[in-house]
Structure formats: structure tokens, C-alpha cells
Structure 1
Amino acid sequence: MKLHIVPARTGLEWVRLGLRVFWRQPMALSALFFTTMAAMSLVTVLPLVGPAVALALLPSATLAMMVAAAQASQGRMPTPALLLVAFRTGRQRLRAMLALGAFYAAGFLLVMGVSALVDGGQFAQVYLGGQPLTRELAESGDFQVAMWLSLLLYVPLSLLFWHAPGLVHWHNVPPVKALFFSIVACLRNLGAFTVYGLAWVGVFLGAGIATSLVVSLLALAGLGAGAAGGVMVATALMLAAMFFTSVVFTFRDCFEAPEAPQSESPAA
């Protein structure tokens, strides 16, 4: 396995490829993303351990979208069976993916725990869905400090896990090494990832403006709040699916292709 250093402009190419490949299979990729999120939401209802288990499933969900995007880029239609792709590649990789999930859940809960030292856990309760967000709470100084602190701490956690699922799945790298190689690849290609992030911010802002115009037109047409809400939810779902579709291209360009790729190989 060899790390590649790419120019900053590659970040734009990652976004372009994510958008292009998504529109090859928009229904399949949106449905897969929705199914993964729904499954994680259902897991959260488990007593006591539900939220932690849902967090632990996120690396596997990310891998499912990466494999789906790789298949779509090769002209194949992703299927719901990819939800279990992390658990169908042998015991060694299964244990590695489970370890990644446990590490991610522990890291995320640690971030929430640190933020709780600032505001008594209010931000953590809102983020994890246990407390409604009120205007008074959102305007609280302690709440805002906890929110920004959580965001700051989440960035290195995200970089640790950005490539880790792909490294485990396609390169059979042990979990701890996968985390190390992931953050090194992100930092060595910081320029490309900065452009990538800024480009996605632009896509989200542009889509938000377009959605607002559509919602305004629906309101003028008297179609009601239901139609407007449906448009907003559908747009948010598609944007999230597009973003996760692009992740596999960041992985493909940062690491040399495995010598003996599996059937669900990274996008060529």
C-alpha cells in the first residue's frame, strides 16, 4: 500500500466525480443511504446501549456507501445487500470493522463528554436526540461554546476514520494502523481536502438557495407546508447521499489500488 500526494485542485475533482456518479444511480444510492440512516435510527431505541451501537455502525455505513459508489462508477447498480458488506468479507475483516465501530463510538462519546464539562451536557443531549432545541438554549453562551468545542474536537476524529473503513475492507489493514494511515493521508493531502470541503459547502449553499426558491414557489401556488417539507427533506437526503458517494474517490486517489482487489473494488 502506497500513499499518494495529490494537488489541491483534486478536491474539486472528487466533488465532481461524486456528483456525476450519484446521478448515474440516484435512486439506488439515495435509497441505500436512507436505509442505512433508518437502520441506525432504529438501533437507537434499544435501551441504554442504543445510541452507542448506532454510533458504532457508522464506519460500516460509510463503507457501504463507498462500495456502492465504486460499483455505480463501474456501471453496476448498487443493491440493498451492500448494507452488510462490512460483515461478509471474512472473520478477520469483520473483527476489524467491529473494532473500528467501537473506537468510533468511544471517540464520539468522549467528544460529547468533554463538551458536557462546559454546559452540563445540554449540547450532548440535544445532539443525541434526548432534548429539544429551544431558542433560549441555542442562545446560551455555554451551549454555543460546547457546540464549537465539539466541532473542533470532531475534526481529528473524522480524519482518523475518513479512510479507515476502506483500508480495512480493500487493503486488509488492522484497525489501529488504518486509523493512523487515514489521518496521515488526510494531513498530507490537506490542500485537496480543504478544497473538497469548501466545494461541498458551495454545493450545499447553492442547493439551499435553489430549494428555498422552490419552496417559495410552492407556497405561492398554495400547495401547502407538506409539499414544501417534502422537497426540503428530499433535497437534504440527496445532498447527503451525494457527499457520501464522493468519499470513495478521496480514498482511491490517496492510496494505491490493492494488488488483489475484491469484487467490490474501489472506483477505477
Structure 2
Amino acid sequence: MQLNIVPARSGPHWAMQGIRTFWRQPLAMSGLFFLFMATVSLVSMVPFIGPALALMVLPSLTLGTMAATQEAADGKFPMPAVLFVALKTGPQRKAMFVLGGLYALLFIGVMLASVLVDGGTFAKVYFGAAAITPELVQNASFQSAMWLSMLLYIPLSMMFWHAPALVHWQGVPAVKSLFFSFVACWRNLRAFALYVLVWIGVFMASGVLALLASTLLGDAQWMAAIFIPLALCVTAMFFTSMMFTVKDCFSSDAEAHTPQ
């Protein structure tokens, strides 16, 4: 396995690859994303330990979306079972469970840090235990907790961005995969910054499109009806693009020594 340093222009290219691959198999990729969300929702409903279990399965399900993207890129129709490929019997399944446990533990740590700021209000809203209101959003302590959580989540996401793929396909131990993933994101920070900016722009464009459509229809109530499915579709495209970031940032030893 070799870490590659990519140019900044790779960021927008990753986003475009994800969008193109999504539209090769839009029905399959949309369905898999909805299955992803449904699985997380069902697991989170388990009494007492549901939220923690939902966090634990996220790395495995993310790997499943990468595997589905690879099939779509190869011109195949990804079946629902591919989403759970990381949970099937295999030499890397234990490491994936360890990775999921680490993600849950660290994410809960981020939420506990926010509890120290606002007494747990933001954490309750995030996990659906409390309703969000305009007054709550304007609260200074709530805003501080939200920004602190976002700041702490950035290095957490960097550690887990490539980790599922490294564990499942490269056989890297769970803890080492976190280190390698963080280093890959850091060394390619310019490309990832542009990648994130492109997706922010795409999400904003979808909101503007929904606003224009509702205005043309003459009813503001159409805004949510148009924006929600559009936003879900864009999110599915975003998940589709993740595999291309991994493929560019890491290559196997065989690929590294293949003459270009």
C-alpha cells in the first residue's frame, strides 16, 4: 500500500466522478442510500444501546457504499447485499467491528465535550431527544456547543474517511488505519478542501433550485416537498464520490510499481 499525494484539482474531479457514477445507476445508488439510512434508523431503535449501535455500524455501511460505487463504475447493478459486505464472514470482519467501536467511542466523546458547554442541549437535539426551536438556535451556549462539536468532528472524520476501505481491502489493523487515513487527508488537504467546497456549492445550488421551483409553482409549501428528495439525492451522490478519494489517495504495491 502506498500513500499518494494528489494535486488540488483532484478534489473537484472526485466530486464529478461521484456524480457521473451515480447517474450510471441512479435507481440502485438511491435505493442503497435509503437502505443505508433505514438500517441506521432501525438499529438506533434498539432499547438503551440503539444510538451507540447505530454509530458502530456506520463505518461498515460506508464501506458498503464504496463497494456499490465500484460495481456501478464497472457497469454493474449493485444489489442490496453489497451494502453489508463488510459484515459478512471474512478475515477483516473483526477489525471492522473494532473500527465501529472506536468510531462510536470517539463520537460520544465529541458529544460529551459539547455537554460541558451547554449542559447537553445540543447532544439531545442531535440524537432526537429534544426538539429544535428558533429560540434554542439563538442561544449562545447552544451555538458554542454546536461549533465545538463541528470543530472536533473534523479530525474525527479525517481519521475514519479512508479507514473502512483500508481495513477491508488492504487488511490494515483498525488503529493503524485511523493514523493512515488522517495522514492521507492531511497530506492532501488542498484537494479535500476543494472537494468539500464543491459539495457545499452543490447542496446550495439544490436549495436555490428548490426555491425557484416553488416560486414558479406559486406556493411556498412546495419548497420542502422539492428540496428534501433533492437533498437526499445529492447526499447519495456525495457518498458515491467517497470511493474515488480513497482510490486516488492510496494504491496497492502492485499498482505503485506498474509502469505508467
Q: Which TM class, normalised by the smaller chain length?
A: over 0.9
Q: Name the counterpart of 1:5.
A: 5
Report the CA distance between 1:137 and its aligned residue: 0.9
Measured in 2, the distance between the counterparts of 1:156 and 1:71 equals 30
Supply the AA of the counterpart residue of 2:243. Answer: V
Q: Name the counterpart of 2:93.
A: 94
Match of 2:248 among 247, 253, 257: 253
Report the CA distance between 1:163 and its aligned residue: 0.1
**1:1-268 to 2 correspondence within 5 Å?**
1-88=1-88, 90=90, 92-218=91-217, 220=218, 225=221, 228-257=223-252, 259=254
Q: The residue matched to 1:165 in structure 2 has which SS?
A: helix
Quick check: 1:56–1:101 contact (8 Å CA) kept in 2?
yes
Question: How many residue pairs are counted as aligned between the two chains?
Answer: 255
Measured in 2, the distance between the counterparts of 1:64 and 1:214 equals 34
Measured in 2, the distance between the counterparts of 1:88 and 1:241 equals 23
Quick check: 1:97–1:175 contact (8 Å CA) kept in 2?
yes
Quick check: 2:2–2:253 contact (8 Å CA) kept in 1?
no
Tell me the alpha carbon deviations over residues 161-208 of structure 1, each in whole angstroms, 9 at most, x when there is no partner: 000000011101110111110000000101110111111111111111
Report the CA distance between 1:257 and its aligned residue: 3.5
Quick check: 1:43–1:53 contact (8 Å CA) kept in 2?
yes
Quick check: 2:7–2:191 contact (8 Å CA) kept in 1?
yes
Quick check: 2:211–2:223 contact (8 Å CA) kept in 1?
no
Measured in 1, the distance between the counterparts of 2:89 and 2:21 equals 25
Quick check: 1:22–1:242 contact (8 Å CA) kept in 2?
yes
Quick check: 1:170–1:258 contact (8 Å CA) kept in 2?
no
Quick check: 1:112–1:150 contact (8 Å CA) kept in 2?
yes
Supply the AA of the counterpart residue of 1:117. Answer: L
Supply the AA of the counterpart residue of 1:68. Answer: A
Measured in 1, the distance between the counterparts of 2:253 and 2:83 equals 22
Tell me the alpha carbon deviations over residues 27-53 of structure 1, each in whole angstroms, 9 at most, x when there is no partner: 110110111111111111111100000
Report the CA distance between 1:231 and its aligned residue: 2.1
Runs of at least 5 residues in structure 2 that lack an aligned partner in the other structure = 256-260
Supply the AA of the counterpart residue of 2:164. Answer: P
Tell me the alpha carbon deviations over residues 39-95 of structure 1, each in whole angstroms, 9 at most, x when there is no partner: 1111111111000000111101111111111111110111101121112250x3110
Runs of at least 5 residues in structure 1 that lack an aligned partner in the other structure = 261-268
Measured in 2, the distance between the counterparts of 1:206 and 1:161 equals 28
Measured in 2, the distance between the counterparts of 1:87 and 1:48 equals 22
Quick check: 2:66–2:242 contact (8 Å CA) kept in 1?
yes
Quick check: 2:95–2:174 contact (8 Å CA) kept in 1?
yes
Report the CA distance between 1:214 and its aligned residue: 1.5
Q: The residue matched to 2:103 in structure 1 has which SS?
A: helix
Tell me the alpha carbon deviations over residues 111-139 of structure 1, each in whole angstroms, 9 at most, x when there is no partner: 00000000000000001111000111111
TM-score by length of 2: 0.94
Tell me the alpha carbon deviations over residues 139-176 of structure 1, each in whole angstroms, 9 at most, x when there is no partner: 10000000000000000000000000000111011101
**Aligned-CA RMSD value:** 1.5
Supply the AA of the counterpart residue of 2:132. Answer: L
Supply the AA of the counterpart residue of 1:138. Answer: V
TM-score by length of 1: 0.92
Report the CA distance between 1:216 and its aligned residue: 2.3
Q: How many percent identity over aligned positions?
A: 52
